[in-house]
């Protein structure tokens, strides 16, 4: 476990699945309102996220993935989830912070620690993520963190709708800069 200010960071376990699913759902409902269909966001999203996280955290793939938890006073504040991909890159598949804690530095520290994990466990591999093209706050954050647009595409999501996406990537040197240079807000 590491500490950043009063925030504690640790590796997630299967026992965290329900809490992660709840925060994932809360984050999507807040950040994607007006981007994803309301019927999907207000539908069985929590059950879908709970099944996803239960499956992800019960698999025997922890060498190829990593769940990083941010807590303050024992309360979940945010999380990041990374997965090594068959194309020899590392996908930062999820980076979520409680909606009322955005702008507090938690996301930046989660990203720094995710990059550190990728550098130590998978040196030389590019880290990338995919973001909804209409998620302007997230895009601004990734650009402040030095992400480079490497692809734009459309993706079919689990609710049977398609949305435009942007892929951001960080090679090894870019990750070093992103975690050591000050962020402008």
- The per-residue pLDDT for 184 is 38
- The per-residue pLDDT for 21 is 98
- The per-residue pLDDT for 175 is 76
- Neighbouring C-beta atoms of residue 183, cutoff 10 Å: 14
∠ CA 46-47-52, nearest 5°, is 95
- The per-residue pLDDT for 128 is 98
Q: What percent of the chain has pLDDT over 70?
A: 89
For 117, phi then psi, to 5°, come to -60, -45
Confidence class of residue 171 from pLDDT cuts 50, 70 and 90?
Answer: confident
Q: For residue 124, what are its two tokens?
A: 């030389």
The CA distance from 87 to 43, in Å, is 34
- The per-residue pLDDT for 178 is 63
Confidence check: pLDDT of 66 > 50: yes
Q: What is the pLDDT of residues 143-163, one digit of tens each?
A: 999 999 999 999 999 888 999
Would you list the domain boundaries of the chain? 2-180
Confidence check: pLDDT of 127 > 60: yes
- The per-residue pLDDT for 97 is 96
Q: How far is CA 3 from the centre of its chain?
A: 19
Could you tell me whether strands 127-132 and 90-97 are parallel, antiparallel, or unpaired per DSSP bridges?
Answer: parallel
Confidence class of residue 64 from pLDDT cuts 50, 70 and 90?
Answer: confident
- The per-residue pLDDT for 63 is 59
Q: In what order do the strands lie in the sheet with 161-170?
A: 2-4, 7-11, 65-72, 75-84, 90-97, 127-132, 161-170, 148-157
For 61, phi then psi, to 5°, come to -125, 25
- The per-residue pLDDT for 172 is 77
Tell me which CATH code domain 2-180 carries: 3.40.630.30
The CA distance from 144 to 14, in Å, is 32
For 33, phi then psi, to 5°, come to -60, 130
Confidence check: pLDDT of 49 > 80: yes
Q: What is the pLDDT of residues 71-114, one digit of tens each?
A: 999 899 999 999 999 998 999 999 999 999 988 899 999 999 99
């Amino acid at each position: 476990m590491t500490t950043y200010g009063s925030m504690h960071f640790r590796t997630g376990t299967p026992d965290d699945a329900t809490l992660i699913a709840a925060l994932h759902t809360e984050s999507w409902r807040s950040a994607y309102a007006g981007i994803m269909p309301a019927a999907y966001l207000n539908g069985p999203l929590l059950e879908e996220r709970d099944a996803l996280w239960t499956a992800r955290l019960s698999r025997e793939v922890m060498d190829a993935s990593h769940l990083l938890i941010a807590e303050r006073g024992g309360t979940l504040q945010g999380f990041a989830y990374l997965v090594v991909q068959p194309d020899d890159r590392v996908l930062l598949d999820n980076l979520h912070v409680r909606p009322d804690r955005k702008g507090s530095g938690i996301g930046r520290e989660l990203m720094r620690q995710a990059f550190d994990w990728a550098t130590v466990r998978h040196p030389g591999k590019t880290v990338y993520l995919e973001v909804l093209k209409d998620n302007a706050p997230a895009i601004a954050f990734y650009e402040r963190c030095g992400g480079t647009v490497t692809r734009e595409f459309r993706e079919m999501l689990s609710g049977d709708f398609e949305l435009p996406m942007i892929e951001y990537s960080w090679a090894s040197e870019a990750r070093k800069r992103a975690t050591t240079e000050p962020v402008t807000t």
